[in-house]
Amino acid sequence: MVGVRVIDLRSDTVTRPTPAMREAMAAAEVGDDVYGEDPSVNRLQEQAAALLGKEAALFVPSGTMANQASLRTLTRPGDILLAGEGAHVLRYESGGPAALAGVHVQTIGRGGFFDGAEVKAAIHPDESHFAPTRAVTVENTHNTSGGRVFPLDRLKDVVATAREHGLSLHLDGARLFNAVVATGTPARVWAEPFDTATFCLSKGLGAPVGSLVCGDASVIRSVHRARKMLGGGMRQAGFLAAAGLYALEHHVDRLADDHANARRLAAGLEKLGFAVDPSPETNMVMFGVEDTLGFLRATRARDLWINPMGEGRFRAVTHLDAPEPQIDEALGRIGEVVAQGIR
């Protein structure tokens, strides 16, 4: 149980449903979604498809399943999937692309971002010795780069090259709405070129569970089959979909607060002498420390939870349950750590 003193900036996945979201969940109309009979799930899927400008959408339990069911649909065993460095599908999904889709993941570009020329250079010749280069995945926002937005002009360049060479396109949009709010570019513009486009309800949007995969009706039929195979068919999932519908209505615009809080935290850390990555674009702050273990222990001892991202690097994530006063309190506690000579 997290005590009231704890400030948890490990991830935006740690939020608890608000009282109003819980009310919406309790009041949800439900049915058996494996039979396609859950009205709340159906409503959520229709709304997600409309938001992303696609024909259809499918509710799945997690961002991981959204990615893996999509990749299984877009590729065949033996294919190559091109991805940016540090892609979630490669690093944090338990080997899913290899185990579940049978694809090799080849990273291109730098720090999660790449352009059309880098896609082109990676494409194998159409010759029997080579694994076929089949698809490209784009992560937007990009987690391990610190929540950065994939620049739209670079994305257009990637899409043009991918299409020219017959590659499929997947969007890991776990935090797509952070990109939407940060840039003012609508979700359907970001999603438009992709065969499969996902977003998560359980990150900054503050719902407890769930992600959507959006695409053409025929593609979503295949993703639906993959979801079934992966064990992701849920029954009265409308309780969860109701949380998602509530989140889409009430928790999108407020992501701007998380972004402002991330900038506030970054500025405070800089004042305390930390090397902070350039101003946060969304809700993540990446910063350097000299003593990884010492900093981790000293912050934990003060009930401040921030995760290291490898040696000498920490990532703090702002969210619904960490409003501005908690950000200031977190900076106060980090100030105490620095005063002890730990940084």
Ligand X SMILES: Cc1ncc(COP(=O)(O)O)c(C=O)c1O
Minimum CB separation of residue 180 from ligand X in Å reads 15
Alpha carbons 44 and 19: distance in angstroms, whole number: 20
Q: Are 229 and 96 within 8 A, CB to CB?
A: no
Number of residues that bind ligand X (CB under 6 A): 12
Minimum CB separation of residue 320 from ligand X in Å reads 15
Minimum CB separation of residue 143 from ligand X in Å reads 4
Q: Which is nearer to ligand X, 146 or 268 (CB)?
A: 146
Alpha carbons 343 and 330: distance in angstroms, whole number: 14
Q: Are 65 and 201 within 8 A, CB to CB?
A: no
Minimum CB separation of residue 328 from ligand X in Å reads 26
Token duo for residue 216? 């053409």
Alpha carbons 316 and 307: distance in angstroms, whole number: 7
- For position 8 contacting ligand X by CB under 6 A, the verdict is no
Of the candidate residues 63, 84, 146, 232, the single one contacting ligand X (CB under 6 A): 63
Q: Which is nearer to ligand X, 81 or 337 (CB)?
A: 81
Q: Which is nearer to ligand X, 172 or 277 (CB)?
A: 172
- For position 107 contacting ligand X by CB under 6 A, the verdict is no
Q: Helix, strand, coil proportions of the chain in percent (round to 5)?
A: 45, 15, 40
In the chain, the amino acid numbered 115 is: D
Of the candidate residues 49, 71, 75, 88, the single one contacting ligand X (CB under 6 A): 88
Q: Which of 274, 329, 223, 309 is nearest to 5 (CA)?
A: 329
Would you call 267 helix, strand, or coil by DSSP? helix
Which residue has its beta carbon closest to ligand X?
63
- For position 319 contacting ligand X by CB under 6 A, the verdict is no
Of the candidate residues 172, 258, 277, 281, the single one contacting ligand X (CB under 6 A): 172
Residues at the contact surface with ligand X, assessed by CB under 6 A: 62-64, 67, 88, 139, 143, 172, 174, 200, 202, 211
